[in-house]
Structure 1
Amino acid sequence: MYRDFKLRSALIQNKQLRLLPREHVYDKINGVWNLSSDQGNLGTFFITNVRIVWHANMNDSFNVSIPYLQIRSIKIRDSKFGLALVIESSQQSGGYVLGFKIDPVEKLQESVKEINSLHKVYSTSPIFGVDYEMEEKPQSLEALTVEQIQDDVEIDSDDHTDAFVAYFADGNKVTHKMDSQRELAEELRLYQSTLLQDGLKDLLDEKKFIDCTLKAGDKSLPCHRLILSACSPYFREYFLSEIDEAKKKEVVLDNVDPAVLDLIIKYLYSASIDLNDGNVQDIFALASRFQIPSVFTVCVSYLQKRLAPGNCLAILRLGLLLDCPRLAISAREFVSDRFLQICKEEDFMQLSPQELISVISNDSLNVEKEEAVFEAVMKWVRTDKENRVKNLSEVFDCIRFRLMTEKYFKDHVEKDDIIKSNPELQKKIKVLKDAFAGKLPEPSKNTEKAGASEVNGDVGDEDLLPGYLNDIPRHGMFVKDLILLVNDTAAVAYDPTENECYLTALAEQIPRNHSSIVTQQNQVYVVGGLYVDEENKDQPLQSYFFQLDNVASEWVGLPPLPSARCLFGLGEVDDKIYVVAGKDLQTEASLDSVLCYDPVAAKWNEVKKLPIKVYGHSVISHKGMIYCLGGKTDDKKCTNRMFTYNPKRGDWKDLAPMKTPRSMFGVAVHKGKIVIAGGVTEDGLSASVEAFDLTTNKWEVMTEFPQERSSIGLVSLAGSLYAIGGFAMIQLESKEFAPTEVNDIWKYEDDKKEWAGMLKEIRYASGASCLATRLNLFKLSKL
């Protein structure tokens, strides 16, 4: 029992907490930072009825278990990392101060309430997390004597404190007495608020002390002036005015939906409101009109959570219309993150000039090239050319022309018919041409004319340049070619040029032994993996399907494979995902079937079968074709056959066979050739490397890999070929050889025709699939 009363490690198995007797998990929060170092560590947070547990995502053994028995206080405090959950343990348990960063703030507040509630319940009825039996009669002293067992548990001294305390503004100087007083005051406030709320609702329900009626249409709603005045500056001013008393007793509200008004009034008395997509805008508008901040805030939070590509522009418009910066900024950031997708929508073409300016003037615009902004603006102009040409000059100032290539500027901007016919724009074109030649105009101090479109923004009397000369990169211009390593813990991007790693997304729901693919549109998908759903008795074996949302840094679940399979290959043409052959997970039969996922219809279909049944093969896509290479056939022997699939014709055909039959090997398209490396042959592991010339339909031998391996991750990135990890036969201490995973990185030197080691070990490659992708460094956290 003593061990579980101290702050110590918890037992984590497969990312799940091993529960103590009578322990139940009430909440599990991903993406929680443990602030015990300057950088912090990212992990998962468990809230149970016995304790609080945090473990690092990259290392399960790095964790801490905090039993309620030894918690002295639970608070939200400001730190150099922002608002954080701070847990102080009792002096008997070491006097620790531990901090955790939980985002967003709403989730942090919700978690603190839940922990406080469970802590109070625990204090009333403790659960020690151990099994015990009740004895009806006392045992003798001899029976109670137990042998003393020595263990290796070290007891921390009671004067120990954690360095994390230094991060907090108050320096942890507040005494325990003051903490207790604050806790008591908070409890009293909550109790009084609940009592008052319940009492007011009873008065309304029983129609007691009613002193006014709100009339909307043909419906009259009884109220109390005091409540309306306390909740709304509008009604406070109205009831305190010199207006006739009769008008105060019955307040007639024009152009008000009585059903919406009824919902708002009930909220003022009960703090409960039924918001949905159908009524939120009406409630929001009415709350804004009558200045009811509590309802206004609830609506803003609701709309922020509902932001989607189909409604973000409407929510942006609503935020601007009702002068709500919080909502407008949230919507604008959502649009900026997905600009290339949203600018093609019909709703984008209906934006007003000011609404358009609010979007394209944003530094956060997620575009790799400014050319995309120019093209979106000109398409918007041509949608209603007659009325929008007059606004083009103002919109023009928000385009950052100096971020374009000079060739594009000459070929597309200067030669645009609308721009050529506008004298005012021609003056700006001349200034831009000079800027490309290195001649900038003298900065202006005329802040009245400069306005929001200037390069320097709100700078008072500083020197200013016109907005169209702005050369500050958009956030989307920090995109870089990276190697994405996806395992069952996280998706980590590796930059081989800078030797840096970045966290892209947590991946606890991604099964092991999955397959992954990146499309021509830079969309990352994960398919399959070995996953057993013990609760699903009919179909316990599942092959899940996920897509990475790299803006939100999370995985989106898609329709799973119709039947679970493994050892298959993945291809992609025109955004459609192809799952080729493999093994059935239930029957273990080899497959020749090919599944195709259509993202528009969001469903799987079968297409033309592969000519042979095969598993452990490799599949690669290139220029609208899918190539299937090697693998093992029904007789469990390696094949050297190679097939190509044309989705437009719907047929497979043979190509020149590989020189060496193999399975479980790496494949990549590098400099127009299909390169394969390593794998399993009839003689064991292989180090051989071959390249297939797509133009001549011939194979050629390349320099062997330095070690015989299977399951190499082969990636062609920015003109370079990399080999990551795999399995090799490694000699153990027993002198026996066993297949062992290696997590190194090699680079193929094309000019020297040799492999060069880059990293001896990259831990994020353990159990990972490897992809070449483009990600925005601006949005990633460096590890």
Structure 2
Amino acid sequence: MLLNPEKQSARVETVSGVLSRTFRDDTHPAVSATSHVPYIKHTWLNDIVIQTKDGLMDASKDALKSTSGYFKDLCKSHPSMNRFMFTFVKQENLKSIVDYAHSGYVTISTENVFERYEAGRFFRVPYIEKVCIDFLTTLIHSSCKDSCWVRQGAQRRSMSEIYYRAKVYQDLHFESLVHDPTFLYTTKPQLIELIRSDDVKVSREEVVYEAVIRWTRKDPGTRKRHLPELIPFVRVPLISFDYFMRHIRDEQLVDDTISAPWKLLCEWVYIYHMSDVSIRADKVVLRTSYDLPKAICTVGGTHADRLNIVEAYDIESREWFDFGRRARPTMHRSAVAVYKKLLWVVGGFYVERKDGEPIATNNVDIFNPYTHIWYIGPPLRRARHSCCLAVVGENLYAIGGRCGPTVLESTEVAGQNEWSFFSDMKHARSLPSVAAACGKMYALGGLDHRDHLVPSAEVFDFENGIWSVWFNSQFRIQRGTRAAAIDGFLYVMTGVCTVQLWIFNVASERLGQSEAKPIIGTNYCIVAVDGFLYAMSSTLKNDQHCIMISRYNPKADAWSPWSETVTSKRPFALSLAAMDRVSKPVWRSNPDLPL
């Protein structure tokens, strides 16, 4: 442990162990010449004077120029200057820069690490910046209180790299950190930073609640009054109802001073658990974790036995796995999207009539990829199948589709508890391809009521609030046109026999064609994940049906094969959705999870 929680200031001044460490730069000329003699001044000639608000010091211009980018530029612009004034810098921090410039050694401690880093960053001394980051990283992995101290200090000083390292470490090791003895000595702001994160990795939300209660019981007289501020950061509705009734409702720490807000909290949680599951999905933000895999999710497809199966493709392990079965009846041509960390399956059709005419539905099913539970979402205003979903900002849009013989130009936007009609497109489209970038939403291609190609595209500008025809003479819309957006660029794949990839810069409205030939089969779909474009298609290999996945790297303008899966039952969906993080099911007694 680096910091004694009860006597932190005293320990900070102590020089022992990793609390204070001296670093040696082996590439420094003074060290490489006389590495066996510490702190030797080499042969530098002190020819300048540096004044700080605390006093004067002598230094070598050549030594400073060789180690500091700031002094190098300053001496280049003022070659005859021999006196420098820095009244805004503490003398001890500037002295560390001068000592390193002369000797190649620098001493870092918990008392000065942040100030040394800021001095190294201002005077552009890369080595001092590096060793400060290394020292702080050691502190992050030392104890709970040390990591909280580093995270808080990095946040105050806008040290984004260190702050992110501390946050990721705390999120991934939350359960071990809260059982560290130093956890009980964290401050209230530090505790809030620990438990408020959406990315905390916990096996169950009860762990977070128990951590807050343990922290409070360390000093109940002082800390009990903070409970109304802390408990809202615990996702209490994610706690099992049985645990809530046995432990939280009758918590012994609750007295007259906090009974009123605690009673309101209990009433809200009770109503939440007793309410219809159809209104729960939007009420609580789920916790995820950095080490959960990213995946491409798909629902339905062409094989009758797999229409209700939710499947995901783990991009890292390159493996398929099943999530579970939809609770609703079999649906064809549902639209899929990831919205607010949940998988939304919208619309679709089923066949019941003797004439075989598909019956469109307005069903909306919401799947939690972390708990593997289905919810019934708010129904669409208009039943539709073969539509497409787009997430733009904080909103989810359903675009086009078909209802019986009618092809729809209408669009809908999801609200908290209901859908509402949005601006109609200029052309009715079923099975369109939709992508959004830079505040604009594009709808390309699709089919009309005779299943003929709609050879046009249109764009919705959210600033103007209208759809307009999007036309470019360099390429034409064809059957199977698919689109996805990455970093302000629209990637459009067109063609059936010969597939081409077009790249459209939304900001500059410039269009270009990729020189790389797509590695792809038939009936392809595309989705963007982490700056890469993944294309899923079907192909035949040795007379066996295969699902082929290939990846496009926009920076290198190159395609590469990613995986092939030989199967007779694997569905092929008309739309894909990229999940940021998913939890693989390990075992369940009932694969068909009830609502």
After TM superposition, the score normalised by the length of structure 1 is 0.36
Bigger relative contact order (CA 8 A; separation at least 6): 2
After TM superposition, the score normalised by the length of structure 2 is 0.47
Q: Rg: which structure is higher?
A: 1
